[in-house]
A and B are shown apart, each in its own frame.
Chain A
Amino acid sequence: MATQHSRSAARIMMAPAVILLLGWMLIPLTMTVVFSFKKYLPMRGGDLGWVGFENYARFVTSSSFWPAVATTLIVVGGVLLITVILGVLLALLLDQPMWGQGIVRLLVISPFFVMPTVSALVWKNMFMDPVNGIFAHLWKFFGAQPIEWLSNASVTSIVMIVSWQWLPFATLILLTAIQSLDSEQLEAAEMDGAKAVSRFGYIILPHLARAITIVVLIQTIFLLSIFAEIFVTTQGSFGTRTLTYLIYQRVLESQNVGLGSAGGVYAIILANIVALFLMRIVGKNLDT
Chain B
Amino acid sequence: MGRITLDQVSKSFGEVEVIPPLDLTIDDGEFVVFVGPSGCGKSTLLRLIAGLEDVSSGEIRIDREPATHLPPSKRGLAMVFQSYALYPHMSVRKNIAFPMKMAGVPEDEQARKIADAATALNLTDYLDRRPGQLSGGQRQRVAIGRAIVREPAAFLFDEPLSNLDAALRVGMRLEISELHKRLATTMIYVTHDQVEAMTMADKIVVLRDGLIEQVGSPLDLYRAPRNLFVAGFIGSPRMNFVTGAGDRMGGAPTIGVRPEHIMASKESGPWKGTVGVSEHLGSDTFLHVHDTGLAETLTVRVGGEFDARHGDTVFLTPDDEKIHRFDADGSRIA
Q: Does A132 contact B (CB under 8 A)?
A: no
Tell me whether A188 and B79 are in contact in the complex, defined as CB-CB below 8 angstroms, given that A193-B73, A193-B99, A193-B102 are known contacts: yes
Q: Does A185 contact B (CB under 8 A)?
A: yes
Q: Which residues of A contact B98 (CB under 8 A)?
A: 189, 192, 194, 202
* A239, B70: Cα distance in complex, Å: 57
Tell me whether A191 and B50 are in contact in the complex, defined as CB-CB below 8 angstroms, given that A202-B98, A206-B89 are known contacts: yes
Which residues in chain A, 171-201, are within 8 Å of chain B measured between CB atoms? 182, 184-185, 187-195, 198
Tell me the total A-B contact number using a CB cutoff of 8 A.
62
Tell me whether A190 and B73 are in contact in the complex, defined as CB-CB below 8 angstroms, given that A202-B87, A202-B98 are known contacts: yes
Tell me whether A192 and B99 are in contact in the complex, defined as CB-CB below 8 angstroms, given that A184-B81, A187-B81 are known contacts: yes
- Determine if A190 and B102 form an interchain contact, defined as CB atoms under 8 angstroms apart: no
Between B71, B90, B98, the greatest number of chain A beta carbons within 10 A of the residue's beta carbon is seen for B98
Q: Does B332 contact A (CB under 8 A)?
A: no
Closest to B149 in A: A192
Q: Does A279 contact B (CB under 8 A)?
A: no
- Determine if A191 and B130 form an interchain contact, defined as CB atoms under 8 angstroms apart: no
- Determine if A187 and B99 form an interchain contact, defined as CB atoms under 8 angstroms apart: no
- Determine if A182 and B85 form an interchain contact, defined as CB atoms under 8 angstroms apart: yes
- Determine if B77 and A191 form an interchain contact, defined as CB atoms under 8 angstroms apart: yes
- Determine if A184 and B85 form an interchain contact, defined as CB atoms under 8 angstroms apart: yes
- Determine if A192 and B81 form an interchain contact, defined as CB atoms under 8 angstroms apart: no
Which residues in chain B, 77-118, are within 8 Å of chain A measured between CB atoms? 77-79, 81-83, 85-90, 98-99, 102-103
Q: Which residues of B contact A192 (CB under 8 A)?
A: 73, 98-99, 102, 146, 150
Tell me whether A184 and B83 are in contact in the complex, defined as CB-CB below 8 angstroms, given that A192-B146, A193-B99 are known contacts: yes
Q: Does A288 contact B (CB under 8 A)?
A: yes
Between B71, B86, B102, B103, the greatest number of chain A beta carbons within 10 A of the residue's beta carbon is seen for B102
Q: Does A41 contact B (CB under 8 A)?
A: no
Closest to A199 in B: B102
Q: Does B72 contact A (CB under 8 A)?
A: yes
Interface flags for B36-54 (1: CB within 8 Å of A; 0: not) read 0000000000000011100
User: Contact check: which of A187, A189, A193, A209 meets B87 at CB < 8 Å?
Assistant: A189
* A191, B98: Cα distance in complex, Å: 11
Q: Which residues of A contact B130 (CB under 8 A)?
A: 288
Which residues in chain B, 289-326, are within 8 Å of chain A measured between CB atoms? none
Interface flags for A237-253 (1: CB within 8 Å of B; 0: not) read 00000000000000000
- Determine if B52 and A187 form an interchain contact, defined as CB atoms under 8 angstroms apart: yes
- Determine if A191 and B102 form an interchain contact, defined as CB atoms under 8 angstroms apart: no
* A198, B73: Cα distance in complex, Å: 13
Residues of B at the A interface (CB closer than 8 Å) are 50-52, 71-73, 77-79, 81-83, 85-90, 98-99, 102-103, 130, 146, 150
- A sample of 9 cross-chain residue pairs with beta-carbon separation below 8 angstroms, ordered by A number, consists of A184-B82, A185-B88, A187-B72, A190-B73, A193-B102, A194-B73, A194-B98, A288-B89, A288-B130
Residues of A at the B interface (CB closer than 8 Å) are 182, 184-185, 187-195, 198, 202-203, 206-207, 209, 288
